[in-house]
Amino acid sequence: MKFFIDTADVKEIREAASYGLLDGVTTNPTLIARTGKPFHTVIKEICEVVDGPISAEVTSIDFEGMKREAGELAEIHENIVVKIPLIMEGLKCVRWCFENNIDTNVTLCFSPTQALLAAKAGATYISPFVGRLDDISHEGMDLVAQIIEIYNAYDYETEVLVASVRHPLHVVEAARMGADVCTMPFSVINQLVKHPLTDLGLAKFMEDWKKVPK
């Protein structure tokens, strides 16, 4: 399973990339706004740090506007993946991008029917938002399982990118289900390596090492 970081903070991205485990980056207008920097400046900085798929989102909600933005975003760097909302105008833009060899990440997916439409439109990635479904008392990972089942049944090439990840258990479940990608905040990436028995064991080893004659 590929690991993407869900942030627009270039400092966090550099640190995560230094681990040697980072495959890509996802951003959205909210994350970009938190940086206080111009949109294109942030995206270009990220492209200099990570050699992998980098999702940059359109802000128009009509087909012509999204199509224009998609073309402009694709010109920034070859690794740009155009992030498009899962609305009908968005699906029209996904099909246009597919026909023009522009990779897409269809975002804000909350149902298997939406995911099916995105795959038929030619999406490169589909982003089910598991955390937001959990927030309203739905099992977000159930949606991921349904999407994977449907995509496998019809051999769709669209990759399942598990998004809105809140904790390591989401990552574990995504990996067990066979999701293609999991995108997560910097904090969750760092939580993945943590285990109290590892810390206790290391502390014991280091304490015993002090007793070894030098």
- Domains belonging to the chain, first-starting first, are 2-209 (3.20.20.70)
Beta strand segments in the chain, E: 2-6, 24-26, 54-57, 80-85, 104-109, 125-128, 159-162, 181-184
The C-alpha R_g of the chain, in whole angstroms, comes to: 19
Mean residue pLDDT across the chain: 97
pTM for the whole thing? 0.95
What residues are labeled active site? 83
At residue 214, the pLDDT reads: 84
End-to-end CA distance of the chain: 44
User: How is residue 179 written in tokens?
Assistant: 């999701």
Closest listed residue to residue 180, CA positions, set 202, 211, 158: 158
The series of mean pLDDT values per 10 residues for the chain, 214 residues long, is 98 97 97 96 97 98 98 97 98 98 98 98 98 97 98 98 98 98 98 96 93 90
At residue 165, the pLDDT reads: 98
At residue 80, the pLDDT reads: 98
Closest listed residue to residue 112, CA positions, set 141, 84, 81: 141
Q: What are phi and psi of 171, to 5 degrees?
A: -65, -45
At residue 137, the pLDDT reads: 97
| pLDDT tens track for 47-86 | 999 999 999 999 999 999 999 999 999 999 999 999 999 9
